[in-house]
Structure formats: C-alpha cells, structure tokens
Structure 1
Amino acid sequence: MAKRIKRYIAYVDALLERDDIDVKKEMDRHLVQIGFFMHERLIHLIVLALFAVLTVITCIAFVVTANISLLILALAFMVLLVPYIKHYHLLENSVQYMYEQYDRMLEKSGEDVFVNR
C-alpha cells in the first residue's frame, strides 16, 4: 500500500504541473482515490487502536500476575505496534497531502477552495 500511495501522489503532482489536463475529470478521479485511502486509514486506525489496547491490557496483566508469558506476549504486541504506527502515520500524512492536492486542483479549475457548494 505504501508504494501505491507514493506512486499515486507523485502521479497527481505531475498532473498538477501540466496545463493540458481535464481538471474536472481528474478531480473526480482524485476524490475516488482519496475515498479509498481514507477507508484504508480507518481500518488501520481500528487495528492500531486494538493492538494498543491489547498491549496495555497485557502489560497490566503482567504487572498483576507476574506471569512471564504475558511479558512475552506484550513484547510481541509492541513489536507489531511499531509497524502499524509507522504505516498509519504514512496513511494519515498522505491523505492530508491529497486534500492539499485537491485544493490545488480546485484553484487550477478556477473555483474558490473554501466556498460552500
């Protein structure tokens, strides 16, 4: 997914540099892609929150019971939590940047960015 996001952002940045594009058509396509990435972001937020809660619960259970297997489980959750945080960070920042790209498309089409439709 990270490659796809980076590739798509680079594609849209290249489109914004050109003057010979159908801005309205590209805006519609961009909104669809933003929707896909927002859905992905929501799923990863749910998974990230679940792993964070499980990590905290496992750490608390280890402190209460002093069972070494719970410590190993908590460490495993923490190891999995780091890549989820990194990936969610990429998704969040990328979607925010896509909003900025959309605003630039609006400006390019001659529309005011902050006018209610």
Structure 2
Amino acid sequence: MTEYLTNYMKYIQERLEKCQSSEELDEIMAEHKDKIAFMQHERIVHFLVTMLFAFILIVFFAVLIFKVNLAVLALVTIVLVLLMFYIKHYYFLENTVQKMYKVYDSILEKQKKLKESAK
C-alpha cells in the first residue's frame, strides 16, 4: 500500500502539472476523488485494526501483571511489535490522505484559473 500510494501521488502531481485543458482537469478530479474515497476507507480499516491490537496488548499486559508467565511475555512482545508496525503504517496513511486533500485543493484552484482564462 505504501508503494502504491507513493507512486499514485507522483503520478497525480505530474499529470496535474502537464494538464492544460478543462476536460482533462475534470477527469483528473474525478479520478482523484475516487482515490481519496478508497484511501479514507483504507485509513478507517487500519485505524480499527490498530485499536484492536492496542486493546489486545492491554489485555495481554494485564494478564502478564497478574500472572508472570514466559508465554504471556512472548505474546505481549509479539503484539507490541505488530502494534508498532500498524501505527507506523497508519501514520503514513493519515499523512498521505492529508496530502491528497491538498492536491484536491490545487486541482480546484487550477480549475478556477482555467475557467477565468477561458472567459
């Protein structure tokens, strides 16, 4: 997902810079709105999974406090490592979706400029 989003952001920026017609800009806008919707869904799913892992970590940690056991310690460690990776990925998704909003704003701005120059 990280590579896909990184490549898409490069692609949309290049396409936006080269765009000169209002029709092409409308096409870019429609495509970009779809991608934003997909990424918002992806972000929500990853948020829920991250919260689930955080809850599981709390439960395992509580069990570890009341019953010191090597197996539970191993579970706490595994879930903690997984949670760190989920947080890192969620952070990337959140920041990239916010960048997508900025690209959306720049598309709107370019649409306004093209309409003004057409008058």
TM-score (norm: length of structure 1): 0.89
Q: Contact 2:50–2:87 (CA<8 Å) still a contact in 1? A: yes
- The one-character-per-residue Cα deviations of 1:34-82 (angstroms, maximum 9, x if unpaired) are 1111111111111100001111111111001222211111101011111
Taking the aligned partners of 1:97 and 1:77, their CA distance within structure 2 comes to: 30
Q: Where has structure 1 moved over 3 Å in runs of 4 or more? A: none
Q: Which structure 2 segments of 5+ residues have no match?
A: 114-119
Quote the Cα distance in structure 2 between the aligned partners of 1:49 and 1:41: 12
- Any unmatched runs of 5+ in structure 1? 112-117
**Equivalent position amino acid for 1:25 in 2:** E
1:63 aligns with 65
State the 1:95 CA deviation: 0.4
Q: Which has the higher helix share?
A: 2
Q: Give the Cα separation in 2 of the matches to 1:10 and 1:25.
A: 17
Aligned partner of 1:9 in structure 2 is: 9
Which secondary structure does the structure 2 equivalent of 1:20 belong to? coil
1:20 Cα deviation from its structure 2 partner:
2.3
Question: Which residue matches 1:115?
Answer: none
Q: Which amino acid aligns with 2:41?
A: H
Deviation at 1:4, TM superposition (A): 0.5
Matched letter for residue 11 of structure 2: Y
2: CA distance, partners of 1:99 / 1:5: 14
Bigger Rg, which one: 2
Paired-residue identity, %: 36
Shift of residue 29 of structure 1?
0.7
Q: What SS class does the counterpart of residue 20 from structure 2 fall into?
A: coil
- d(CA) in 2 for partners of 1:18 and 1:101? 14
Count of residue correspondences: 111
Q: Work out which of the residue numbers 52, 55, 60 in structure 1 matches 2:54.
A: 52
Q: Distance in 2 between matches of 1:8 and 1:101?
A: 12
Q: In 2, Cα distance between the equivalents of 1:35 and 1:76?
A: 32
| 1:104 match | 106
Contact 2:16 2:28 in 1 (8 A): no
CA contact (8 A) 2:53 2:79 kept: yes
